[in-house]
Each structure stands twice: as C-alpha cells, then as structure tokens.
A and B are shown apart, each in its own frame.
Chain A
Amino acid sequence: MTARQMKLGAFLWATGHHIAAWRHPKAHVTAGIDIDHYIQLARTAEAAKFDMVFCEDAAGLREANIGIASQTSRSIGFEPISLLSALAVQTSRIGLVSTASTSYNEPYGLARTFLSLDHLSGGRAGWNLVTSASPIEAANFGATGLKPHADRYERAREFAGVVTGLWHGKASGHNGQSFSVRDPLDLPRSPQGAPVMVQAGASDVGRDLAARTADVVFTAAQTFEEAKAFYDDLKGRLPAYGREPDDIKIMPGVAPVVAETEAEAREKYEELQELIPDDVGVALLSSYLSISDLWRYPIDGPLPELPESEGMKSRQALVIEQSRRDGLSIRQLARHFAGARGHWRIVGTAAQVADELQARFEGGAADGFNVMPSYFPGELDAFATLVVPELQRRGLFRTEYQGRTLRDHLGLKRPV
C-alpha cells in the first residue's frame, strides 16, 4: 500500500487564468486560434504526470459589456469537446475533462459525445457538469432568459441520472419531467466503465447533487478553514447516498505564481496585476456578484449591500465574505479576484507552494488541486518544472502513471 498521493489537474484557459495574462509579453496571445499551442500544453502536463487537463466552458461571451470584453482574451477560443478530441489522439495517458451544460444540451447527445471522447482517448474522458448561471448564455438558447437556480438543478439532477444510466448501459426508456430517451447509446461501453463525472457547484443543492453523482469536485476556497469546512461537509453527505469518502476526490482550485526565489515570484505577480485595467477588474467583480452597476460606487470605497442573486450563489458569498474580513475596497477586491478569479493564490518558491499544498492535503482539506496557471505556456512550465519535482521529492505526487485510464489515475472505482 503506497502512501496517499495528491491529484493534480491542469486547468487550461484562454491565454491564462490571470485576467490580464494575454498582455504579458511571455503569454501566447494567439492561444485561442492555435491548436498546436494546446497540444503542447497537454503534452507538458502529461510529461509532468498530471491526472488531467481541464477545460471550463460557456456557450456565449463572458462579458456583456462589449468594450470590456474587447480588452480581454476570453471572447474567442476553442469549443472544448472538439479541442479535447484533438488532444485525445495527441496524448496517451493524461485525463481530458471538459465542462458542458445541463441547461443547453440533451442527455442522450451529451452522453454520446463524451463517450466518443472516451473511446478516442482510450478511457481518459471526464464531464464537468454545470447548470450555467450566465444570462448571456441563456440568450443564445431562447427568449425566456435564465431559469431560477432551483429549476436548473432539478433539470441537472434528472440529466445526470440519464447520462450515467446511458453510460452504465441501464437507462433506455427514460421518460421524465424534462427528458425522454428511448434507446440505449449506439456506442460500445466505455474503456473505463464510464467517463468520470466532475462537478463544481458549491451551493447546498449543488453539494447534494455532487454527493449523489460526482467522482471529482472542483471548488474555490481562499482559506484553509473554508476548504476544510467544504471538504468535511461534502464527504459527510456521501453516506446518505451509499457512498464512501474516497469515492469523491475534492480538488480546490489554486492559482500559483512560482519562481526560483520569492522575490522573483512577487515581481512576476505584481507585473501581472499592473496590467489589469480598472474597468476590466470591476466588470469581472460585478459578474461574480451578479450585479450590473458596481461601477457607480466609488472605486476606493467598500462594497455596497447586495441582494442574493439567481446566478452563482456560492461565488457571490465568497467575495462578500472576503471583502468584510479583509476590509478591502472595490479596487482592491477587483484586482484580487481578477487575478485568481476567487481561487486560492500562492506566490512564492517551489518549496513555499509545496508547503501550502501539503498543508491542505495532509490537513484533510483537499484530495488534490486544480492548478490555474497565470499565463500559458510559461506558468504551466514553471509549475511542471519547479513545483511537481518538489512534490515528488516529498512523496506527495506520482513519478509515473500507474494505469491507463483517468479512473486509474484518480483511484476511482470502475462502475459495474
């Protein structure tokens, strides 16, 4: 029995996770139209033995204000299913996980598409279920606007049940509230039993859905206490669904800025922060808070009182809590969240980053981490060449893949 080791995801996103990444001289500014760039990133992550690459997704623009959108690199990019299908045959071991919405797809088509990706990759596919909280996306799929949070999750629960049933070869003849499906899938069974199910919703209803169906949960947590509380809460919900604690891997996002020395790392971080235009930072903060008129308030003053939104409830609460706790102004909050998008930021040397990850991993607050490099390819390379060897030296991360499928890497049971 080998010691428990952490799971690592390489979260690929646009030119980088930092909102101003694309302006950095070392970022690959044409990432969104360059497939060879993504093939190289996936190979870098695979050479470093990451469990998976992960692509987030939205079926629409990220930002309603076109002027703001035009100052970021996030309005164009690859559609992730096609992107991962291309990566599937250009890699051989690393897992390939993509987000897809339960609000704007049908379960039969989604199950079939991910199963095809699973066959192309020899059992390395995963689906990150989202219900889609953006009204911008909703406008691409009808005139009725964004559905309420509870309705979206009701649909998602039925959707997830149909998809897993189809993957397990059990669910032909479904006739439910939102969906009906007559036939089984017309593709052979998955090489890993079924593609891996991932979720990221952190609201109460989101956690219940994860406890019922997810193999992996991505989450955003700033402090150890928040991470630990989430971890304990979610694992505590598993027995009610007949599942064991190890059946779910909880992987908080982490946005590291790493360099040979701490001073270099700080310099690198400040360099990025300086590239954020104020209006872009405030717009991004507004979207997390699900309000449209944050720009009306003084930028060096505190956050105004906010009503609870139908959008991303959990992210909103996280921002508000941090603003109260640290007494941050709108500008400070905007820069802080623009940088890491509400995720946990570590700036330092490989040893310092490894110390922090180890503390959360061994302290029972994480099973692994979803790594969000500030810009690509440089910051993924830095994590792969500096932090991964440090984790391996400490026995915290694999030095070779042990299996061939994503379930193998994650240590997940194969569904029967």
Chain B
Amino acid sequence: MDNGATMHLAVSLADPSLETGLEFSRLAGFVQKAEAAGLDMVLLADAAPASESEAANKRMPFEATTLLAALATVTSRIGLVAAASTSAHQPYNLARRFASLDVISHGRSGWNATMTQAPREAANFSRPEGFSPNDFRRRSEEYIGIVQGLWQGWDADALLFDQSGGRFHDPEKMHLLEHKGEFFSVRGPLNVARSPQDTPVLVLSGLQESDFDIATSTADVILLDGGLVEGATERYDDIRRRVTACGRDPDAVKVLTNVALIADSKPAAVAERLEKEFRARGCDGFNILMPEQLSALDDFVGLVLPELRRRGLVRESYRGKTLRSHLGLAGGGDR
C-alpha cells in the first residue's frame, strides 16, 4: 500500500526533444531502463503538429497507442500512458483501444487526455473551424464521461467461460451505456473485457482554471505544467478540496508536476528541489520531461533517483503489478 509519503515519478517521452531516426528497439530500451529503476509510468506524447513544417520534421515514427501496445509486450511492471486526442477519435473507438491496451499490458495502461485544443488538429479531422473553447470544454467533459462509462460496461466477474453449460458470459453483468448527450450518442457496451486494474488510468493535462471541476471529478492523475511554482501548496490543497467536494477520497487523485531536467545541474541539487516541493505538499510527485538525448535518463536513474531513495522519498521497487497499484489508487488490486 501507498504510505502517503511515496513520491510518484513518471517520465515523459515527448517528441520534439527526441533524436532523429528513433527505432522501436531504442525506445524499448529507454522504457526498460525506466522500469528497472522502478518508475511509476512512462508518458507517451502524441502532440499534433503545430505547423506543416513541424509535421514534416517529426522524428518519432510512431503513433502513441500503437507504440504503447508494442512496449507492453517488452515490459512487465511499468505503467504505460499514451496521449490520444478527443478530436482525432470517436469516444467509442478510443475507449475500446485503451480497454484493449489495458488487457494487453495486464493492467498497466492509461489515457492522457488534454483539455487544450491543438489549433491545427481539427483541420485534419474534417473540422477546419475547430471548436470554440466553451464547446471544446463541454465536449471534452461529455467525452470523458462516455469513455469512463464504457470502461465499466462489463462487471469484473461477467465472464463465465462455462464450456459445458454453454454460458460464455453472464448477460446480467454486461451493461449498456445508452448515452445521449449534446455531442455524442453511444449505446455501448464495449466489446472488450473489463480492465485487469478495474479501468485504465485517466491522466488529465493542459488544464485551465475552468477545467479543474472536470478534472477533480474524473481524473486519476492531474498533470500540471509550470514546474516548481510559488503557491503550489495552495493549488494542491485546492485540488484536494475539490476532489472531496465531488464525493471522492482526496487520495483518489494524484497531482504530478512537470519538471524539465537540466542536464548540467548537480544530482543532489535536483533531488533537493524535488524534495522541497514534495515536502511542502505541493504535489504527489513529478513527471520528468526528458531533455534532448534519451541517455539523460541514465543520469536521472543513476544519480538523482538514489538521492531521492536515500532521503526516503521514493519506494525501492514495485509493490504491485498494475499502474493503479503503483500510483496508490483504488482498483489496483491484482486479480
């Protein structure tokens, strides 16, 4: 179990900072290194290009959900979270993709949804005008509700596999969604079994102030930009208050702060900085944004991580098998 003092650590594999010509085997090596170090999860970015020239210069030859599936087969413990845009997928398809990824990874998957509309993306998905900020927010809220509802369409004990009795599943334990909303109409259920970790982990990022009510009522992990900031403690307290106001356990949402690693700073100084914000109750952990070279992970796991462990901030190894169990979230029990 999470003792409340464990600092959660994720590492982000974001495209613009990556080297050219990346092959799968190198990315696999990176994630395996993060797994050997016991990190909670790797976040796979999937940002839409901001311009035509950026599209042409993209270096990562993989879309994030397909990459996640492949990485799941060459790792066994680390959480794998892929970004996927609400503009690029229908909610049924996205819910189904992640439900399947969670079965493939044995309960180690998560969906990173952003509340920020990528300006060019909609234009590649037959919506040249995009959405107004208000519409995008309402649509995102409806979308997330559908996805989480679909993830709960099958009870954990719905599958019977009763060969002689001819009962494959219990029809009473399969539930239609019957969603009819402003933007979507989705009957359900998914045609994928219930997640081994109950539902895939929902990571929300790109939040504006006006998105916090949606985030605190739906997210498992809230990812905040801006690094180490003044007022982090107040912001963290405010999030926990809002989570409680939604009728949720305040520990049901983990707040991670994005931190850019600076290659030449001293490991002890980095650890010091992270410890300070963590001890001040500014967050539950950090998402480390990788600098230019993948090999920078070596410095983090070889030099900074031992410092954090020496200070008793980070657990020594994985205690469970699912991403929820790494994050200390309910529903992470290993079946």
Contact = CB atoms under 8 A, between A and B. Distances in A.
Bound together:
yes
Interface of A: 22-25, 29-30, 32-33, 35, 39, 58-62, 66-67, 69-79, 81-83, 85-86, 88-90, 104-106, 108-109, 112-113, 115-117, 119-120, 136, 139-143, 172, 178-188, 277
29 contacts: A29-B161, A29-B163, A33-B159, A35-B104, A39-B73, A58-B191, A70-B171, A70-B174, A72-B168, A78-B192, A81-B65, A81-B69, A82-B69, A82-B100, A105-B93, A106-B126, A115-B63, A116-B63, A139-B187, A140-B92, A140-B187, A143-B180, A179-B126, A181-B126, A182-B120, A182-B124, A184-B52, A184-B55, A186-B49
B263 interface: no
A318 to B, nearest CB: 25
Contacts of B189: 61
A66 B104 contact: no
A74 B100 CA distance: 15
B76 interface: no
B17 interface: no
Contact of A181 (B90, B124, B186, B187): B124
B100 A78 contact: yes
B63 A70 contact: no
Given A76-B192, A183-B49, A108 B125 contact: yes
A59 B168 contact: no
B192 A120 contact: no
Contact of A67 (B123, B154, B171): B171
Interface of B: 24, 28, 48-49, 52, 54-56, 58, 61-63, 65-70, 72-74, 88-90, 92-93, 96-97, 99-101, 103-104, 120, 123-128, 154, 159, 161, 163-164, 166-171, 174, 180, 184-189, 191-193
A180 B61 contact: no
A25 B191 contact: no
Contacts of A74: 191
A59 B62 CA distance: 23
A120 B163 CA distance: 37
Nearest to B186: A140
A61 B101 CA distance: 19
Contacts of B89: 109
A86 B104 contact: yes
B55 A140 contact: no
B24 A89 contact: yes
A78 B68 CA distance: 14
A116 B159 contact: no
Contact of B169 (A75, A104, A142, A178): A75
Contact of B73 (A78, A86, A113, A184): A86
Contacts of A22: 161, 163, 168
The dominant DSSP class at the B interface is: mixed
A82 B126 contact: no
Contact of A141 (B69, B72, B90, B164): B90
A69 B188 CA distance: 14
B64 to A, nearest CB: 9
Contacts of A139: 185-187
Contact of A184 (B56, B127, B164, B193): B56
A59 B96 contact: yes
A331 B44 CA distance: 52
A83 B55 CA distance: 27
Contacts of A76: 154, 159, 169, 191-193
Nearest to B124: A108
Contact of A113 (B63, B68, B70, B191): B63
A345 B159 CA distance: 30
Nearest to B69: A85
Contact of B128 (A35, A108, A178, A182): A182
Nearest to A74: B191
A49 B175 CA distance: 42
A185 B55 contact: yes
B66 A183 contact: no
Nearest to A68: B171
Contacts of B70: 85-86, 88-89, 120
Contact of A140 (B97, B168, B188, B193): B188
A85 B67 contact: yes
A70 B167 contact: yes
- 9 closest Cβ pairs, A-B complex: A85-B69, A79-B100, A116-B63, A139-B187, A143-B185, A186-B55, A85-B66, A182-B123, A186-B58
Contact of B167 (A24, A71, A82, A142): A71
Contacts of A29: 161, 163
Given A23-B166, A76-B169, A116-B61, A183 B125 contact: no
A39 B166 CA distance: 27
Contacts of B126: 106, 178-181
A183 B24 contact: no
B186 A141 contact: yes
Nearest to B160: A70
B103 A35 contact: yes
Contacts of B96: 59, 79
B73 to A, nearest CB: 5
B185 A82 contact: no
B73 A119 contact: no
B163 A25 contact: yes
Nearest to B154: A76
B192 A183 contact: no
A382 B137 CA distance: 54
B107 to A, nearest CB: 11
